[in-house]
A = this chain, B = another copy of it.
Amino acid sequence: MAADVATADHDAVLAANRAFYRAFVERDLAAMATLWSEDGAVACIHPGWDVLVGRAAVLASWRDIFAQPTAIACRDARVLAHGDCACVICHETIGDGRGGGMLVATNLFVRQDGAWRLIHHQAGGVAPGAPAPPAAPATRLH
C-alpha cells in the first residue's frame, strides 16, 4: 500500500539521519563518506562557515571537524518528503545543551539506487531567547 511505502521511506530517511549523527559523534570519516552522495554535486554549510561545494571540500571539512571531539545530539527530527528527496530538519544540541548550545539543521537527502544519501547540510545557531519550537508530537509532516 502507498501508506506503507511512505512509512518505510520515512523510517529509512530518519535512519539515514541517525547514521549521519552517529558518524558525527563517532568521528567516523568512512561512515560519513558513505552517507554523502557520490553522484552529483553536494554542499555543506557548517555554523558560521561559508558554503563548501563539492564532495572533496565537504569531506575535508568533516575530517577537520573530527580532529576534535564534539558532544552532539540530534533531536526533534522532522521530515519534509517529496518524491526522491527528503529534507530532515532537526535540533542539534552541543555539549550539555545549556549556554546557547542549540543549533537547528537542515539535512537534505536524495534517494539513489534505493539508498538515501546526503547532498546538503546546513546548521546554524538558535539565538538565546528565540521562540520555542512548536511541539513535535510526531516526526511525520508529509
Contacts and interface: CB of A to CB of B under 8 A. Distances in A.
Contact of A130 (B48, B80, B84): B48
Which of A57, A104, A130 counts the most chain B CB atoms within 10 A?
Answer: A104
A85 interface: yes
| Number of identical monomers bound together in the oligomeric complex | 2
Given A48-B130, A89-B43, A142-B41, A53 B82 contact: no
A41 B130 CA distance: 22
A3 interface: no
Interface string A52-74: 11100100000000000000000
A48 B126 contact: yes
Interface in A116-142: 119-120, 122-127, 130-134, 141-142
Contacts of A33: none
A51 B110 contact: no
A-B complex: 9 closest residue pairs judged by Cβ atoms:
A124-B124, A85-B85, A41-B141, A48-B127, A82-B110, A40-B142, A41-B142, A50-B130, A50-B133
